[in-house]
Amino acid sequence: MVTGIDDLEQAIRIITLTPRLSVPTEPDKFCDALAFIDRPPAIAIPRIAQEIFDSLTRWEPRLKVERVEVEAVAFHHFKVPVFWRPREDVLADLRRTDVILREAA
């Protein structure tokens, strides 16, 4: 069980890596970033960034997402730094959580 900042970082990873429609009780929740993983980087990078930003903003009210960057690491493999702050603590330092997106083997 995690609490505090660790809980928020875990929420970022769960929302980002769980495909929409994969949880029957909450079909609209989560993120479709993995749907773009097999596209060329010029198409995938902006769509992944927007999908993650929108999903985190919508589904995690405890966060203030500043920006999402997407870096192509290899074919079908992206590193996604998410820059965020806890919503309650406006003066808090900007935090970064890295999420790794890659095609399942």
Q: Residue 16: which pLDDT band, with cuts at 50, 70 and 90?
A: very high
Give the pLDDT of residue 67.
95
Q: 95: which DSSP letter?
A: E
In angstroms, the CA 22 to CA 24 distance is: 6
The pLDDT value recorded for residue 93 is 78
Sequence ranges of the domains in the chain: 4-102
Task: Reduce the DSSP state of residue 79 to 3 states and report it.
Answer: strand
Q: What is the pLDDT of residues 65-94, one digit of tens each?
A: 999 999 988 878 899 999 999 887 655 678
More confident residue, 81 or 100: 81
Tens digit of each residue's pLDDT (9 = 90 or more) over 17-64: 999 988 889 888 999 999 998 899 899 999 999 999 999 999 999 999
Q: What is the pLDDT of residue 55?
A: 96
Contact 28, 53 (CB under 8 A): no
Which numeric CATH code is attached to 4-102? 3.10.450.40
Report the pLDDT value the prediction gives residue 5, as an integer from 0 to 100: 86
